[in-house]
C-alpha cells in the first residue's frame, strides 16, 4: 500500500516511512491512496476472532511493509490481557435496543488513546529499524490531556526513543495533570505551556516543519516523529475497533450481518471519528457518523454548513480533551471527499492558517452532510446527561461520553432514525471525577481530587481504577512551565542541545 500527502499528490511513501515521519514535509498528512475493502464474508470471518485476531487481519491490509510476524509481535505486545481491564479489550455495553456503548477506556491510562498508543511504539520501533538505522527518535506530543499520558505510558523506556509532551497549563483535569507529571521512565519528559491545546499543537507542528531545528537535532543523531493523531500509526489502530464493534454487534444479535449501525463519537481533533469513516469506506455497514462536540462547536458548524471558522472564543469546558478549534484530521476527510484533490485541500488549509476560516464547495458539502450528522452541548447539558444516563441505566459515563450521548439523543429526536447505534465512550469517569460527581451530587466535589474520587465511588459504587488510585500522594517529577514561543528551546534543553 502506498501513502501520499493530503497537500501534494506526488508524494509516495510506504507505511513504515509514513509512521516514522509522522507528517509530510509539505505540512500535509499521510493518507493511503486506496482504501482496502472487507466484504461480508470477510466480516463473518472476523466475527469469529478475538480482538487481537481482528487487529492483525485489519492492520495487515494497511501496513503492507510489515511482515506477518512483525505485526503479530506488535499486536500481541500492545493488547496484552493484563494491561486492559476487560478481556474483550474494547467491550460493548448494551444500554438498550438502539444504544450500545463502546468502552474504549479499558487500557492502562483509562482513556481511548491507549487503543492506539499501546500499539504505536511497537509500530514505530519496527518502522524505525527499517527506515532509520541507528538514529534516535524524539516523539513530540501536544496533548489536550489524554494523549500525553497514553503516549508517555506507551513509549516509556522504549530503547532509542525520547518522548516530550506539551500540555496546556490550565487546560487539563487535575487527574490528567497528575498522571502526566508523575510519569516514570528514563526517556520521558513533560512540559506545561502557557496557552491552550491549539497553541501546543501549532507549536509542535511548527517544530516539525523547521529545517534548522531538524538539522541541529540530526547533528546529535535525533529525528522527530509524532504520536498525535496526525501520525497514520495512530489512526490505523482506531479503525480496528469500529470493525470489531460491528462484529460484536452482529454476534450479540443487535444487528443482522449486512445491516447498518450508526456511530456517535465525541470529537476533538477528528481522529477517532475519521477512523470510523475509514471503517465505513472499507465496507463495514455503518450508516450515519454522528459527530459530537462541546461548546467548542467549530465542527458542528462545519459539518452542517461547510464553513470552518476557528475565529471564535475558546471555551475551557468540563470535557477538556475536546477543547480544540483546529481539528487536524479533518484535512484527511477533505482530501478523500474531493476525490484526493491535494491542491484544493492545501488551499483550504492555507486559508485556515492565514484567515482562520474556509468554506468548502457545494459538492464537498453534499458529501459531508450525506455521511455526517453533528450536534453539540454545553457543560450544563453535559452534566444533565450524565445524571440522566445514570438514573435510567445505572451506567456512569464521563463528560466526553456524555457529550456523545447528548448528540445521539438530539439526532434521534430530530430524525427519528432508530438504527442500532454504537456510542464511543472515550474515558473512564474517574479521570473527570470533579465534573462527574457534580453531575450526580451537585457541589459534593471538593478541591481534594482523591476525596472527590472517593465520594464518586460512594455515590456510584463504580470501581476506581488502581492506576488512578495509586497516584494519590505521588510527587510530580515535571514542573516546568514554558511560554508557547519557547517550545523549541524546551526541545533543545531536553535533548541537551545548545
Ligand atoms: C482525545 C479525546 C477525544 C477526542 O478525540 P479525537 O480523536 O481528537 O477527536 C474525546 N474524548 C476523550 C476522552 C479524549 O481523550
Task: Please give the average per-residue pLDDT across 353-372, as a whole number.
Answer: 98
337: closest CA among 327, 348, 352?
348
Task: Indicate if ligand 1 lies below 6 Å from the C-beta of 268.
Answer: yes
Confidence label for 254 from pLDDT (cuts 50, 70 and 90) = very high
pLDDT beyond 90 at 350: yes
pLDDT at 111: 96
Mind spelling out the 3-state secondary structure of the chain?
A: CCEEECCEEEEEECHHHHHHHCCCCCCCCEEECCCCCCCHHHHHHHHCCCHHHHHHHHHHHHCCCCCHHHHHHHHHHHCCHHHCCCCCCCCEEECCCCEEEEECCCCCCCECHHHHHCCHHHHHHHHHHHHCCCCEEEEEEECCCHHHHHHHHHHCCCCCEEEEEEEECCCCCHHHHHHHHCCCCCCEEEEEEECCHHHHHHHHHHHHCCHHHHHHHHHCCEEEEECCCCCHHHHHHHHHHHHHHHHHHHHCCCCCCCCCEEEEEECCCCHHHHHHHHHHHHCCCEEEEEEEECCCCHHHHHHHHCEEECCCCCCCCCCHHHCCCCCCCHHHHHHHHCCCCHHHHHHHHHHHHHHCEEECCHHHHHHHHHHEEEEECCHHHHHHHHHHHHHHHCCCCCHHHHHHHHHHHHHHHHHCCCCCEEEEECECHHHHHHHHHHHHCCCCCCCCHHHHHHHHHHHHCCCCCHHHHCCCCCCCCCCCEEEHHHHHHHHHHHHCCC
Higher-confidence position of 205 and 373? 373
Task: Indicate if ligand 1 lies below 6 Å from the C-beta of 400.
Answer: yes
Task: Please give the average per-residue pLDDT across 30-37, as a whole number.
Answer: 98
pLDDT beyond 90 at 437: yes
* Atom of ligand 1 minimally distant from the CA of 266: 10
Task: Indicate if ligand 1 lies below 6 Å from the C-beta of 296.
Answer: no
Q: Report the range of poorest mean pLDDT among 140-144, 245-249, 265-269.
A: 140-144
Q: Whose CA is nearest to atom 15 of ligand 1?
A: 146
Catalytic residue among 21, 113, 177, 310: 113
Task: Indicate if ligand 1 lies below 6 Å from the C-beta of 452.
Answer: no
Output the nine-digit C-alpha cell for 397. Answer: 459515563
pLDDT at 7: 98
Cα 229 to ligand 1 centre (Å): 10
pLDDT beyond 90 at 337: yes
pLDDT beyond 90 at 219: yes
pLDDT at 423: 98
* Atom of ligand 1 minimally distant from the CA of 146: 15
Cα 176 to ligand 1 centre (Å): 13
pLDDT beyond 90 at 498: no
* Atom of ligand 1 minimally distant from the CA of 267: 9
* Atom of ligand 1 minimally distant from the CA of 272: 7
Task: Please give the average per-residue pLDDT across 298-304, as a whole number.
Answer: 98
Task: Please give the average per-residue pLDDT across 291-296, as a whole number.
Answer: 98
Instruction: Choose the residue to mutate in 105, 108, 112 for probing ligand 1, maximizing ligand atoms within 8 Å of C-beta.
Output: 112
pLDDT at 234: 95
Q: Whose CA is nearest to atom 8 of ligand 1?
A: 269
Model pLDDT for residues 37-50, shown as the tens digit of each residue: 999 999 999 999 99
pLDDT at 229: 87
Largest CA distance in the chain: 62
Cα 349 to ligand 1 centre (Å): 22
Instruction: Choose the residue to mutate in 111, 115, 430 for probing ligand 1, maximizing ligand atoms within 8 Å of C-beta.
Output: 111
Task: Indicate if ligand 1 lies below 6 Å from the C-beta of 423.
Answer: no
* Atom of ligand 1 minimally distant from the CA of 398: 13
Confidence label for 133 from pLDDT (cuts 50, 70 and 90) = confident
Q: What percent of the chain has pLDDT over 70?
A: 100
Q: Whose CA is nearest to atom 1 of ligand 1?
A: 321
The rounded mean pLDDT for the chain is: 96
Cα 266 to ligand 1 centre (Å): 7
Q: Is 113 a catalytic residue?
A: yes
Cα 194 to ligand 1 centre (Å): 21
Task: Please give the average per-residue pLDDT across 290-318, as a whole number.
Answer: 97
192: closest CA among 216, 170, 210?
170
Task: Indicate if ligand 1 lies below 6 Å from the C-beta of 266.
Answer: yes
* Atom of ligand 1 minimally distant from the CA of 431: 13
Instruction: Choose the residue to mutate in 115, 142, 146 for probing ligand 1, maximizing ligand atoms within 8 Å of C-beta.
Output: 146
Q: Whose CA is nearest to atom 2 of ligand 1?
A: 321
Task: Indicate if ligand 1 lies below 6 Å from the C-beta of 7.
Answer: no
Cα 93 to ligand 1 centre (Å): 19
pLDDT at 290: 98
Task: Please give the average per-residue pLDDT across 453-481, as a whole number.
Answer: 95
pLDDT beyond 90 at 134: no
Model pLDDT for residues 100-119, shown as the tens digit of each residue: 999 999 999 999 999 999 99
Task: Indicate if ligand 1 lies below 6 Å from the C-beta of 427.
Answer: yes
pLDDT at 128: 92
Task: Indicate if ligand 1 lies below 6 Å from the C-beta of 426.
Answer: yes
Q: Report the range of poorest mean pLDDT among 27-41, 196-210, 286-300, 382-396.
A: 196-210
Model pLDDT for residues 377-431, shown as the tens digit of each residue: 999 999 999 999 999 999 999 999 999 999 999 999 999 999 999 999 999 999 9
Cα 406 to ligand 1 centre (Å): 16
Confidence label for 188 from pLDDT (cuts 50, 70 and 90) = very high
138: left (phi over 0), alpha (psi -120 to 50) or beta: beta
Cα 147 to ligand 1 centre (Å): 8
pLDDT at 144: 85
Task: Indicate if ligand 1 lies below 6 Å from the C-beta of 228.
Answer: no
* Atom of ligand 1 minimally distant from the CA of 268: 9
Amino acid at each position: 500500500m502506498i501513502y501520499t500527502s493530503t497537500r501534494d499528490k506526488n508524494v509516495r511513501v510506504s507505511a513504515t516511512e509514513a509512521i516514522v515521519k509522522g507528517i509530510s514535509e509539505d505540512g500535509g498528512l499521510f493518507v493511503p491512496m486506496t482504501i482496502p475493502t472487507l466484504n461480508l464474508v470477510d466480516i463473518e470471518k472476523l466475527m469469529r476472532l478475538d480482538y487481537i485476531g481482528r487487529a492483525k487481519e485489519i492492520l495487515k491490509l494497511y501496513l503492507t511493509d510489515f511482515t506477518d510476524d512483525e505485526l503479530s509481535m506488535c499486536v500481541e505486545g500492545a493488547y496484552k490481557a493484563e494491561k486492559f481491564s476487560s478481556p474483550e479489550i474494547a467491550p460493548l455495553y448494551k444500554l438498550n435496543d438502539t444504544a450500545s456503548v463502546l468502552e474504549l477506556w479499558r487500557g492502562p491510562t483509562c482513556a481511548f488513546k491507549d487503543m492506539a498508543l499501546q500499539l504505536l511504539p511497537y509500530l514505530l520501533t519496527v518502522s524505525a529499524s527499517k527506515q532509520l538505522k541507528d538514529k534516535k527518535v524524539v516523539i513530540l506530543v501536544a496533548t489536550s490531556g489524554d494523549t500525553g499520558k497514553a503516549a508517555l505510558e506507551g513509549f516509556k523506556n522504549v530503547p532509542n526513543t525520547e518522548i516530550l509532551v506539551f500540555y496546556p497549563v490550565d487546560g487539563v483535569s487535575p487527574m490528567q495533570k497528575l498522571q502526566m507529571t508523575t510519569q516514570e521512565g528514563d526517556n520521558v519528559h513533560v512540559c506545561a505551556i502557557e496557552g491552550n491545546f491549539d497553541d501546543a499543537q501549532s507549536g509542535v507542528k511548527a517544530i516539525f516543519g523547521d529545517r534548522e531545528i531538524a538539522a541541529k537535532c540530526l547533528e546529535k543523531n535525533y529525528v522527530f516523529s509524532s504520536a498525535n493523531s496526525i501520525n497514520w500509526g495512530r489512526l490505523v489502530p482506531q479503525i480496528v475497533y469500529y470493525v470489531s464493534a460491528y462484529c460484536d454487534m452482529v454476534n450479540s444479535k443487535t444487528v443482522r450481518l449486512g445491516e447498518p449501525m450508526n456511530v456517535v463519537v465525541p470529537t476533538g481533533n477528528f481522529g477517532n471519528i475519521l477512523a470510523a469513516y475509514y471503517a465505513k469506506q472499507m465496507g463495514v455497514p455503518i450508516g450515519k457518523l454522528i459527530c459530537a462536540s462541546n461548546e467548542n462547536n467549530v465542527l458542528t458548524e462545519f459539518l452542517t454548513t461547510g464553513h470552518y471558522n476557528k475565529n471564535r472564543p475558546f471555551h475551557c469546558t468540563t470535557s477538556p480533551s475536546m477543547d480544540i478549534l483546529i481539528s487536524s484530521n479533518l484535512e484527511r476527510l477533505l482530501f478523500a471527499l474531493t476525490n484526493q484533490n491535494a491542491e484544493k485541500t492545501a488551499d483550504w488549509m492555507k486559508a485556515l492558517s492565514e484567515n482562520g476560516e474556509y468554506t468548502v464547495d457545494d459538492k464537498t458539502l453534499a458529501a459531508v452532510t450525506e455521511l455526517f450528522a453533528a450536534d453539540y452541548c454545553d457543560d450544563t447539558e453535559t452534566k444533565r446527561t450524565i445524571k440522566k444516563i445514570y438514573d435510567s441505566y445505572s451506567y456512569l459515563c464521563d463528560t466526553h461520553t456524555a457529550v456523545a450521548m447528548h448528540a445521539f439523543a438530539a439526532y434521534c429526536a430530530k430524525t427519528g432514525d432508530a438504527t442500532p447505534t454504537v456510542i464511543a465512550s472515550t474515558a473512564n469517569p474517574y479521570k473527570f471525577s470533579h465534573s462527574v460527581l457534580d453531575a450526580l451530587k451537585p457541589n459534593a466535589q471538593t478541591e481534594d481530587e482523591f476525596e472527590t474520587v472517593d465520594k464518586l465511588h460512594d455515590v456510584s459504587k463504580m470501581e476506581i481504577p488502581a492506576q488512578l488510585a495509586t497516584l494519590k500522594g505521588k510527587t510530580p517529577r515535571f514542573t516546568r512551565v514554558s511560554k508557547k514561543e519557547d517550545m523549541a528551546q524546551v526541545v533543545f534543553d531536553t535533548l541537551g542541545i545548545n
